[in-house]
Amino acid sequence: MSLGSSSFEFKTRLWASAGCAALAAALFALSACGVLSSPERDETPSALMLRAQAAYDSGKYSEAVTLLQELVKKDPSNEEARIRLAFSYNGSIGVTPLNLLKTLASSSSAPSSGGTGNSDITKLTSGAGLSKTITEEIKRKKNTLTSVDILREKFKEFATFQSAFLTLCPLFSKTTLDTLRTKSASAVTLMKLDQCGVGVASSNANVSIAALTLAIDQFATLYKSILDSDGDGQIDAEKDSKDASDSISGLSTGAGTSAESLSKLNSATQKLTGVATTLKGEVFKLAIAQFSIISAVVDGSNLPSTIAAPLKKAVDGLDTAVGQINKYLDAGKATSTSTSTGGAAAQDAAAKANEKAQALLAGQDATKTNETCTSIYCLRTAYGLSVSNPGDLPNQCTAAPYTCTQ
């Protein structure tokens, strides 16, 4: 199969490429097994494709990116060029289809654990993602990554992921795009889905492989650094929310001194406020968007059954986990009528915090009162709960505004 060919068939070449030097090259459909024709001119589409193939085969991914960008600019409807550009983008940051398939093969070999699906996510992400160095650096800087733009500015890998996504997504099937918009509203703006069009009637199966490569590696990195930074298999925000709520519910006014109890109360409310800040964060939502892309691609792709079956097994529990996490995304917009799990938990915790504070603040000095009133005020405002009605704050709190640092 020459690089000038327009078929770029995945299903007939993935498993039947024993003579090719590497599986990654077979996925890219570079003709390591074929015969290359001589380029007619350096800048014709066919010549650009040939030069890009040579660069990719030599591991010169950035050069391949430049050549294929020029080709896509000349011929925006060239499906093959877009697919190869997506793979070249990934290659330029060390992400390859070969690593993806190894990850999927490993994760699909273990049975599903059911439940929230978190352990399935862990299996899916364990062998994927950017380098550990990048993951650890994001973990260290996550409190400064207040927007996706800042993430992409500080970590060029994520800017590359986005460029690859926008190159590829016009080739997604309509089903895939519709499913993605349904599964993750956050993706619409963060991934700039408005630039992807409405989808195509049928899509080369390599589009699905490239999309999975993009989404799994980006999600895996964000999962390890943002969603589950301690690596215990539980979503940090979910765990912190439960721990703080339990701490408030179990706080006894008769245990220890009032000062000690107030300190525990303030710590718990501040932790819940931090959870709300995380849930509202664009980088957190970007991770969920990537998570949803994985599920949407598997649901809407035209992969051969021999590939689709292990993929579906590998992401078993994915939809459950997406639903679980998306409930917490709504927590930041909770109102008194909210039925979301995150919102209800926040309201319950805020109510209990008021109840505990009413008793603990009796006889306390102004400094202690102000600190506790501030923590409860910030907890409620972080989740969009009222602070202006009678009973919203402890009786000892004044009507003066409080300053929240988060």
DSSP annotation string for 335-347:
-TT---HHHHHHH
**154 pLDDT more than 70:** yes
Q: Which two tokens stand for residue 13?
A: 């070449």
- Asked which of 117-131, 261-275, 289-303, 378-392 is least confident by mean pLDDT, the reply is 117-131
SS (H, E, C) 123-163: HHHHCCCCCHHHHHHHHHHHHHCCCHHHHHHHCHHHHHHHH
Q: What span, in angstroms and rounded, lies between the C-alpha atoms of 311 and 37? A: 36
Residue pair 369/361 in contact (Cβ under 8 Å)? The answer is: yes
Residues 213 and 289 in one domain: yes
Residues 129 and 83 in one domain: no
Residues 81 and 128 in one domain: no
Residues 79 and 146 in one domain: no
Residues 83 and 130 in one domain: no
**251 pLDDT more than 60:** yes
Give residue 26's pLDDT. 35
Residues 101 and 68 in one domain: no
If you average pLDDT over each of 93-97, 108-112, 118-122, which comes out highest? Answer: 93-97
| Domain carrying residue 133 | 97-233+283-333
Give the pLDDT confidence of 155-190 residue by residue, as tens digits.
999 999 999 999 999 999 888 888 888 777 667 788
376: in domain: no
Give residue 41's pLDDT. 59
Q: What span, in angstroms and rounded, lies between the C-alpha atoms of 56 and 213? A: 17
Give residue 318's pLDDT. 62
How many domains, the chain?
Answer: 2
DSSP annotation string for 290-313:
HHHHHHHHHHH----HHHHHHHHH
Give residue 314's pLDDT. 64
Residues 111 and 173 in one domain: yes
- 230 or 119, higher pLDDT: 230
218: in domain: yes
| Mean pLDDT computed over 365-373 | 88
Residues 101 and 78 in one domain: no
305: in domain: yes
SS (H, E, C) 48-107: HHHHHHHHHHCCCHHHHHHHHHHHHHHCCCCHHHHHHHHHHHHHHCCCCHHHHHHHHHHH
Residues 177 and 290 in one domain: yes
Give residue 242's pLDDT. 85
Give residue 8's pLDDT. 34
